[in-house]
Amino acid sequence: MKITSVVLPDGRASDTTKPMVAALHHVNVTVSTEEEAAAKNFYGSILGLHQVPKPAGSRQSGAWYQIGGNQLHLSVEDGVRASLSSRHICFSVSDLTEAENRFRDAGVEIVPDPRPIPGTRRFYVRDPGGNQLEIVQQT
């Protein structure tokens, strides 16, 4: 049985055959004030992401990076402990071994895949703010 509508709290029906979300626009990660410079180096230099200008009126701390049609937003936020969370961003790379070597050369700890999936090559790293990144071989 395929569900094609759900009843909203106000009694209206919602058509589930049309996706509400058209595309992923951006992902936001947070780091502390003390970690901002190291995080900018991590995303800009180690990952090689292209930094783009932030719009007028936005907080000027942090940075925005363009990745194809999507963006990664780096925000400064004190008092958050991301290092204990399993939330993550996944980046696909064309050469997993090359990516691992680049992280190692930069002194970034490689976290082995804790739950291997047959046929999927991947590992994890954490940025200077403790945000977890999954790095997977592009298929």
- 78 token code pair: 């004190």
Indicate if the pLDDT at residue 80 is higher than 70: no
> What residues contact residue 134 under an 8 Å CB cut-off, 6+ apart?
88, 89, 90, 91, 122, 123, 124
Please give the residue range of the domain that contains residue 65: 24-137
Domain count, the chain: 1
Residue 14's pLDDT is 61
- Inside any domain, residue 121: yes
**Could you tell me if 74 and 29 are in contact, meaning their C-beta atoms sit under 8 angstroms apart?**
yes
**Beta-carbon neighbour count of residue 38 at 10 Å?**
13
Helix (H) or strand (E) holding 38: helix 36-41
- Inside any domain, residue 3: no
Split at pLDDT 50, 70, 90, the class of 113 is confident
Q: What is the pTM of this model?
A: 0.72
Tokens 């976290």 sit at which residue? 111
The rounded distance, in Å, linking the Cα atoms of 49 and 67 is 7
User: What CATH number is associated with residue 92?
Assistant: 3.10.180.10
* CA angle (78, 82, 86) in 5-degree steps: 165
Q: pLDDT exceeding 90 applies to what percent of the chain?
A: 46
